[in-house]
Every structure is written in structure tokens, then in C-alpha cells.
Amino acid sequence: MIAVIFHWWLGLLLLLGGGAASLALIGAYLKTVTAAKYPNGRRRRDD
């Protein structure tokens, strides 16, 4: 019985970890693409 419960928790942890890694990868990709498109987006021009 313990093995079945442990198996479900292990699966849940792997699912959450994989989802978090996927979101981090997508976020890093979007940040890189946006930075290449708008290179000076964080700086303001002082006129």
C-alpha cells in the first residue's frame, strides 16, 4: 500500500517539476526573443 501512495506522490512531483521546467524554458525563450527585438527597452532617452 505504501508503494502505491509513494508512486502517486513521485508522479505528482515529477509532473510539477516538468511543468515548472517547461514554463521556465518558454519564459527564457520569450525574454531572449524580446530582448533581441527591443534591445534598449529598459533604458529611457533623456531629451
Q: Tell me the residue type at 13.
A: L
pLDDT in tens, 1-47: 888 788 999 999 999 999 999 999 999 999 999 887 887 756 655 55
Please give the Cα distance from 27 to 23 (Å, whole number): 6
DSSP 10: H
Structure pTM? 0.65
| Contact indicator for 12, 18 with CB cutoff of 8 Å | no
Please give the Cα distance from 7 to 3 (Å, whole number): 6
